[in-house]
Every structure is written in structure tokens, then in C-alpha cells.
Amino acid sequence: MFKRKLISNIMLFISFLTALYGLFWLFWILGTLFVNGFKYLTLDLFLQDPTPPGIEGGGLRHAFIGHIIITSLATLIGVPIGVCAGIYYAEYGKNSYFFMALKNITDIMVSIPSIIMGAVMYALMVVPFKQFNAISGIFALALLMIPVISITTYEMLILVPHTLREAAYALGAYKWQIIKDITLKAAKFGILTGILLGVARISGETAPLLFTAFNNAYLSVDLFKPMASLTVTIFNYVMGPYDYWHKQAWAAAFFLTLLVLVLSLFAKALLYFGTLNPFKWKIKK
């Protein structure tokens, strides 16, 4: 008995040290970004276009607008497909080989490196057009988001008790009515959490956009031409020779990290407060 407790305490202490080690580097990274990025975070960074290379000043308005366009359109494509895929997995595809095959593919796509998705979209949508374009970047980010949302939707829907479905069937409801009015409403907080996590993931991606949307030094809203993005601009500025480029890159990296952190914390808060007791369902009279 004493030996088991000793081993348990030793393993608990080792786990505590490893967690502390990971948290140390996390806060070190966040602290470095805050120290180096916050002091260069100004309104000009958001409102002004970049100056010619070598001339100090300007901002990253073109990159912020381009990033918003690419991320927003990728979200509009990825969210409906991801949610519908999760609904199919949980409600329609049970006990079928086709479902199992699709589910395994989706599980693999969750952990696929983003650069692979960028290379695939480069071959499918950049090479045929013979130029980089924002459309290919949008589809690359959407394909990275879809597996995260579909798996989260599936996991949340299967948590809904089957007794709710059986009660709805007993009252004469159709399957699509049960999904729309019962299961989706019961799992809405978990599904929204998956959507926010998917958006947070694609917001910080650089590699897929290097292969697809590429980048430019001016404001462009043409989806069939290269479009600036915040992540690629940060990459280019960090590799550049000018000190003011490095300052703007620090500020943009701090803003992007803060945005992803807020989205992740908000998703965790929704998951905690929305599904604190997932089996306590309210019945409207």
C-alpha cells in the first residue's frame, strides 16, 4: 500500500513539473509578445497602407483587410459544411461502412499539417489559373476548419440523450424536426465552441497562404489575384532588413495572438458554462 502511494505521489509530482514547464514557456512567449508588440501597437498600424521599402512609417491596413476577407469567406464555407457533416455522422451515418470511412478520413484531416493542405490547393487551384489567388487560400483554410467543426459537432450531438429523440418520435415528429428543434438546440454551445476553435486555428495559419493567396504590398479585394494576409506579411517583415518592419511585425503578431487567445478562451467559457450539466434540459410548456 505504501509503495503504491509513493509511486502515485512521484508520478503526480512529475506531472506537475511537466505542466509547470509547459506553462513557463507559454507565458514566456506571451510575455515576449506583449513586451515587444504592445509598445508598437498604434492606430496607424490599422489605418495606413505600407510605405515603400526603406521609408519608415505606414501601417498594415492592406494585410488586416485581406486577412479579414480570407478568414471570413473561409468561415462562411467551412462552418455550414462542418456542421452538416457532424449532423450526418451523429444522426444518419450510424452503423454504416461509408460513415466509418468518412469518419476516419475526417479524424486524419484534423491532424494533417496545414502546409500539406496548402500544397494540395496549390496543385488544384493555383497551377490551373497560372497565378496565385485568394480563392485558393480561402478553400485551403476552409478545408482546415471543416474537420475541427465536424468532429466537435459529432461529439456534442452524441451526448444528447436518446430518450429525447424517442420522446419526439412518440409525439410524431419527423427526424429533421428532431434534429432542428431538439438535438441542435441542446448541443448549440458545444457546436459554437467548435466553430470558434476552427476560426482560431485558421486565423494564425501562414503556410497554406504562402502556397495559395501568396501576398502583395498593396490593398486588393480581387479574389482571383494575390491578396495580402496578416500572417504572411508578418513572415515577410520578420525576414526583412528594416527595423521598422520588425516593429510592425511584433505589433501585428501581438494583435493576432491576442485575437486567437480571446477566441480560444471564449470557446472554453462557452463549453464550460453551456454544458456544465449537459443532461439538464429545459422543457418548454
pLDDT of residue 274: 63
Q: How far apart are CA 228 and CA 226, in angstroms?
A: 7
Alpha carbon distance 152, 200 (integer Å): 14
Give the per-residue pLDDT at 109: 87
In angstroms and rounded to an integer, the radius of gyration of the C-alpha atoms of the chain is 23
In this prediction, residue 281 carries a pLDDT of: 44
Q: What is the pLDDT of residue 140?
A: 94
In degrees and rounded to multiples of 5, residue 215 shows phi and psi of -175, 165
Long-range CB contacts (within 8 A, 24+) of 277-283: 278/159, 278/160, 278/186, 279/161, 281/161, 281/164, 281/186
Q: What is the pLDDT of residue 275?
A: 52
Neighbouring CB atoms inside 10 A of 15's CB total 10
What pLDDT is attached to residue 284?
Answer: 44
Instruction: Annotate 83-134 with DSSP letters as a single string.
Output: HHHHHIIIII-TT-HHHHHHHHHHHHHHTS-HHHHHHHHIIIIITTTTS--H
CA distances from 74 to 92, 102, 141 (A): 26, 21, 6
Give per-10-residue mean pLDDT for the chain (285 aa). Answer: 86 94 92 90 91 88 93 94 91 80 86 90 92 93 93 91 88 88 87 87 90 89 92 91 91 90 81 57 43
CATH superfamily, region 62-274? MetI-like (1.10.3720.10)
Buried b (16+ CB within 10 A) or exposed e, 223-261: bebbbbbbbbbbbbbeeeeeebbbbbbbbbbbbbbbebe
Give the pLDDT confidence score for residue 264 in this predicted structure.
81
Q: What's the rounded Cα separation, in Å, for the pair 78 and 279?
A: 29
Q: Which amino acid is at 229?
A: S
